[in-house]
Chains A and B, each alone.
Chain A
Amino acid sequence: MRTVTELAGTGGPRGIFDELSKREVRRAALTAVAVPGYQVPFGSREMPVARGWGSGGLQVTLALVGPGDRLKVIDQGEDGGVNAANLRRLVVGHVGCEEETDTRRATLIQSRHRIPETPLRADQTLVLQVPVPEPLRAVEHDVREQRRMHAQEDYARMWVGLYEDLVRNGVVTKSAGYPCMVNGRYLISPTPIPRFDVPKLDQAEHLTLFGAGREKRIYAVPPHTRVEPLVFEDVPFEVEHTPGAACRHCGATASYLVEVPSMDGAVAWVCSDTDFCTRNREVR
């Protein structure tokens, strides 16, 4: 009895998450690292943000973060967006760690839909928020059948789906969240990061943890792990690219650019990674 109470601790001044639950998340994350790409079920707690708003990423971040960390939170590549700002203040207010926007100085990065342009190092951890973790949902509705398919590495229907897509549309139409094989064994949905970011997961220096709060699963791509998009040998993997597009702020052409349309039809492009863009402007 006393041990449990001791373990439970006194909790922070404004508690979000009790210590025993953080331990559970850490255990799941360790399992996820040990079996790359396998979706580890965990008893996901409700967070002070709604389900679908990063409750899984938040649990992973809270289980990892300490007062000595420098935390960067981005949404769509931005540090300053409403959702990123909200999650950052929640964690920083809870843990008392440092806020960081510079990718190079951050020790822990929670992100929604992007991997930063600046390559991450071995001493950095990326936490991706996951709205829908199951790549097989595209071809199979039944959860039990999905689990069987993963267990037996039976991804035949994914290949058939890819083939049909190609035949019907002339190109592979899957946009963000492109299904990938991890370590040649498990198929994952790399969250809706653009296809542009998928190569950054392959043989990366850093650890990536994926937290799906609503679906109660955690999975991982450990450092130096193969991550291969599901493609046919003779149909190359295409990433988002628009010929001639360059960031109107920093001039970058090799970063992930998002459109800024206007009603007169003129289209401008800007970097989605605002930290990268700001530093790139200073360089110029």
Chain B
Amino acid sequence: MGYSGASGGHEAVLAAEKLVERRRYGGASAWLGIDQITGRLGLAVDRVMGEGGLWAPELAARALRQAEGDVQEAAQLIRAHRSTVPRVAYSEPVHADELRISRRISPAFRNPPGSQLLGRTLDYVGRLLDLMPEDQARARLQAADPSPEPVPAAHDLTANGHPTANDHVTANGHPTANDHVTGNGHEAGGHDGGAHGDPRRPPRLLRLLRSMGMVVDRRTEGDPEPYDITRAPIRPGVPRSARLTAMARAETGALVHLWYANTFQPGRHNHEFPGEVRHGALPVRVRHPLTGAPVTVTEVRVTEVETIDDLDRAEEDRSRLDLGYGMCFGHNERKAIAMAGLDLLVHRDAGRTGVEQEVLLTLDGIEASGFLEHLKLPHYVDFRSVLDRKRAVRAAMEEAVAR
């Protein structure tokens, strides 16, 4: 009976599963290795980790393969996997200044404090379909870059996190081509934002703007625990940390859409300026169960954005600027920039419109697409109820006409 017959649902489900497995494991082409996915489809893996809310490159690659490349589905697999494992410890807070950059740009000034490090970006690589045969392309790379050092996999952070040896710091001229900053030489408490001239930890533009008196100070007293949206549901009125977490796990396209739709609202005459766009590695530390001392157990790559916007509303301090913040797993600048823009938008909106609720409750890709796809489920019990009411309305109308 298939889809919704009185019986046979079980058989139909098993048959569908078999067809899925045939696609997944069958076919003549070579089996796709996890290392190929992490190595060759790193940005897709990053998206799955970001939207899945779990830093686990190999699991994300596995999910991506299982989902036949559907990023949304892969993120769902990662989220469901999270639910199977107990939470036994919490990591220690790390300061974002500990981010060891592999890319950092600051569009707001020509020569900002710290360096502009273009790093690996598609921004200035011709957006042309590369039709060069693969062996030729590889040979050309070899000829141009005969370095014996193998290119580390995109997710290999143990090798000091430098994706390539070709990073060029474009300002301040620091020698960086092969500067291997050691990963563990910078433990807790040392987040001085490059005060010692570490080009991999440049100072923030925010500090400069603060010293210029150009930004409103929204720092608050105390250091509250971040709101854990996976343990407590999120709803309007939650602290900013909840909003930021929600956006960090949001679907990239949904974030971009909401940011874009709000950018052209009347009264908005300018777009924001990203003060920082950073991509790099952050340490993850947990307390040792015996000694109690923080121990670095791994690193995660994140994209971090601080975006600056003009303040022009009557109740705002129009002599200053304000800042929005975005950070997400992996390399996903689109997401982090949209996130920072929306963070600031929600703050400035101050409950005037429904934008906070929209940001908190509509951007999760797993929830949105799950609800959308549930429309495919059988609905004939409630549809019968709908038809019943239509007939009742019709009867009431006919009765009214007859009178």
Contacts and interface: CB of A to CB of B under 8 A. Distances in A.
Interface of A: 1, 4-5, 7-9, 11, 15-21, 24, 41-48, 50-53, 55, 75-78, 80-86, 89, 112-114, 131, 141-144, 147, 169-171, 173-177, 192-196, 214-217, 238, 240-242, 256-259, 272, 274
Interface of B: 1-10, 12-13, 76, 79-80, 82-89, 228, 230-233, 235-237, 289, 354, 357, 361, 366-367, 369-374, 377-382, 384-389, 392-393, 395-397, 399-400
Given A170-B396, A176-B381, A177-B382, A47 B80 contact: yes
A29 to B, nearest CB: 15
B13 A15 contact: no
Contacts of A257: 384
A75 B378 contact: yes
6 contacts: A1-B289, A9-B86, A81-B9, A176-B385, A194-B384, A258-B381
Given A43-B232, A176-B382, A192-B385, 18 more contacts: A16-B80, A18-B86, A43-B231, A50-B76, A52-B372, A53-B377, A75-B4, A76-B379, A78-B4, A80-B7, A82-B2, A85-B13, A142-B236, A143-B357, A144-B236, A147-B235, A175-B385, A259-B384
Contact of A16 (B6, B7, B84): B84
A86 B16 CA distance: 11
Nearest to A7: B86
Contacts of B371: 51-52, 131, 214
B383 to A, nearest CB: 8
Interface centre among A46, A53, A193 (most CB of B within 10 A): A46
A19 B86 CA distance: 7
Nearest to B6: A274
Contacts of A5: 86, 88
A18 B88 CA distance: 11
A274 B4 CA distance: 12
Given A77-B381, A143-B236, A176-B382, A51 B6 contact: no
Contact of B387 (A1, A80, A259): A259
Contacts of A20: 86-87
B207 to A, nearest CB: 36
A168 B336 CA distance: 48
Contacts of B10: 80, 85, 89
Contacts of B76: 46, 50
B9 A78 contact: yes
Contacts, number: 201
A81 B4 contact: yes
B248 to A, nearest CB: 16
Contact of B370 (A113, A173, A177, A214): A214
A115 B82 CA distance: 32
Contacts of B13: 82, 85-86, 89
A83 B378 contact: yes
B206 to A, nearest CB: 31
B366 A51 contact: yes
A155 to B, nearest CB: 20
Nearest to B234: A216
Contacts of A259: 384, 387
A55 B381 contact: no
A219 to B, nearest CB: 13
A66 B46 CA distance: 38
Contact of A18 (B83, B228, B373, B400): B83
B230 A81 contact: no
Contacts of B393: 169-171, 173
A85 B11 CA distance: 9
A241 B86 CA distance: 49
Nearest to A53: B374
B9 A240 contact: no
B26 to A, nearest CB: 22
Contacts of A170: 393, 396-397, 399-400
Contact of B357 (A45, A53, A89, A142): A142
A73 to B, nearest CB: 10
A237 B357 CA distance: 35
A217 B233 contact: yes
Give the top 5 A-B pairs by smallest Cβ distance, nearest first. A170-B396, A51-B370, A8-B86, A52-B374, A216-B233
A119 B76 CA distance: 37
A173 B147 CA distance: 74
A194 B382 contact: yes
A177 B382 CA distance: 8
B83 A21 contact: yes
A131 B374 contact: yes
Contact of B384 (A41, A141, A240): A240
Contacts of B399: 170
Contacts of B384: 194, 240, 257-259, 272
Contacts of B374: 50-53, 131
Given A4-B88, A175-B388, A240-B384, A53 B236 contact: no
Given A8-B86, A89-B10, A240-B388, A169 B231 contact: no
Contact of A85 (B9, B85, B372, B395): B9
Given A55-B370, A81-B4, A171-B393, A46 B388 contact: no
Contacts of B387: 259
B381 A52 contact: no
Given A50-B369, A171-B393, A242-B388, A45 B83 contact: yes
Nearest to A48: B80
A171 B389 contact: yes
A8 B86 CA distance: 6
A240 B385 contact: yes
Contacts of A21: 83, 86
Interface centre among B372, B374, B381, B384 (most CB of A within 10 A): B381
Contacts of A80: 1, 5-10
Contacts of A45: 82-83, 230
